[in-house]
Amino acid sequence: MDDVAAASSERQSTSRSWALLGFFGVFCVVAFAVALWPRESHVTGPVATTTPVPPAPATIDGWTPYWVLDRILEQPDSGASRLSNLREVSPFWFSVTGFDAIDSDTFTPDDLAEEYIGQLRNAGVAIVPSLLDRMAAGQMATILSNPVVRSAHVVAIREFAEQLDADGIDIDYEQFAFADDPSTWIATRPNWIDFIAELSVGLHDDGRTLSVSIPAVYDERVTGDRGYWVYDHGAIAEYVDSLRIMAYDYSVVEPGPIAPLDWFEQVIDGVLLAVPQQFHERIVLGIGSYGYNWPTTVIGECPEDAPGRTGVNPGTLDDLISRRGIEPVADVVTGEWTATYELTVDNGVTQCVQTRQLHWIDADGVALRVEMARRAGIEGVALWALGYEDDEVWNALISSSTRNLIP
């Protein structure tokens, strides 16, 4: 079984040879994060008798991509019990392909999608499908630049929500950030704000909510980087019900951490600075529960179908670790795990040996990031992605969202 096939295998209950290392890593990570959090100053004078108020329990949302539906639905008992803890779920298989066209992804198993949405309805979980901009670079920016076409796009979204009987809509238009040239952002930003404002009015008139899923913005005075300011986090905050910040995918092209702790803190600080305080309750911090597996060096000539970067998650890692004899290492600086191993790829004609490098966030890493969000006053978190998590991740998520954090 190769790495790509391994990514779809079920988690196996195995005893981990790295359990002691995990305990040590978690202890160090928590100690590191606690050191980052501000402490009360020690001053002379009367001691206050008021008991500090602990942060409110975090609300939990999540995205569900179509490629995990079979895994979720094969575990009906655990899936049903988890739904009761969720506020809203975003089915992640709808794409905007034109100003008036919203389509289900070609690879979506329609029968499983219908069954899953039925489970959400039965559990009373709000259904807030994500709409992804799947058009070529610049096309969505062009649509939003024309008031007439923009309004027609709003109408198409409202009609889509009505047909699906959705409780809300999540706008996930990432092409501005990752495909359009940053030189276009100054022109796109006001059109984007107008779009969100118009869509907000329409959806709210229909009794539906609006969320947006967008990448981070930073405090330029500290980081020297403004981040993805094209989305004008502060300006759109008054129009949305949830402002979902994608605090993951720090490393995508090159091997590296998924959401290192120092960067994660910068994401929190940046959005709190950008968004007016009266709208802080609308901030939802996206938290990753996954990892990537990259090839780093290659010896020999690889077949054309040799694996490139692949995804890993807590539900599939035990099998990979067992099969490859991998020894994970805790990275106390990033609050994640890393590992390297060698993979021989041979198709009978050509052969190569890849050195592969993994980075991932485990259950304790998820819990730690939830606690960091809550200590900063952010009460909403969203998991990327539902279906990636195992029981350990889920239990850590629930526990960290409700426990009293006041020392």
Task: Give yes or no on whether 3-9+293-359 and 55-289+362-402 have one common fold.
Answer: no
Q: What pTM was estimated for this model as a whole?
A: 0.86
| Residues 190, 229 contacting (CB under 8 angstroms) | no
Q: Kindly give, in sequence order, each residue whose CB lies less than 8 Å from that of residue 237, ignoring residues fewer than 6 positions away.
A: 243, 275, 276, 279, 282
| Residue extents of the structural domains in the chain | 3-9+293-359, 55-289+362-402
C-alpha 247/C-alpha 175 separation (Å) is 17
User: What are the pLDDT tens digits along the chain (407 aa)?
Assistant: 334 333 333 333 333 334 333 433 443 444 444 344 333 332 333 333 444 555 667 899 999 999 999 999 987 666 677 898 999 999 999 999 999 999 999 999 999 999 999 999 999 999 999 999 999 999 999 999 999 999 999 999 999 999 999 999 999 999 999 999 999 999 999 999 999 999 999 999 999 999 999 999 999 888 899 999 999 999 999 999 999 999 999 999 999 999 999 999 999 999 999 999 999 999 999 999 999 999 999 999 999 999 999 999 998 899 999 999 999 999 999 999 999 999 999 999 999 999 999 999 999 999 999 999 999 999 999 999 999 998 999 999 999 888 776 55
Report the chain's terminal Cα–Cα distance, integer Å: 48
**Which top CATH class is 3-9+293-359?**
alpha beta
Alpha-carbon distance values, 382 to 90, 101, 245, 317, 337 (Å) = 10, 27, 9, 22, 21
**Which top CATH class is 55-289+362-402?**
alpha beta
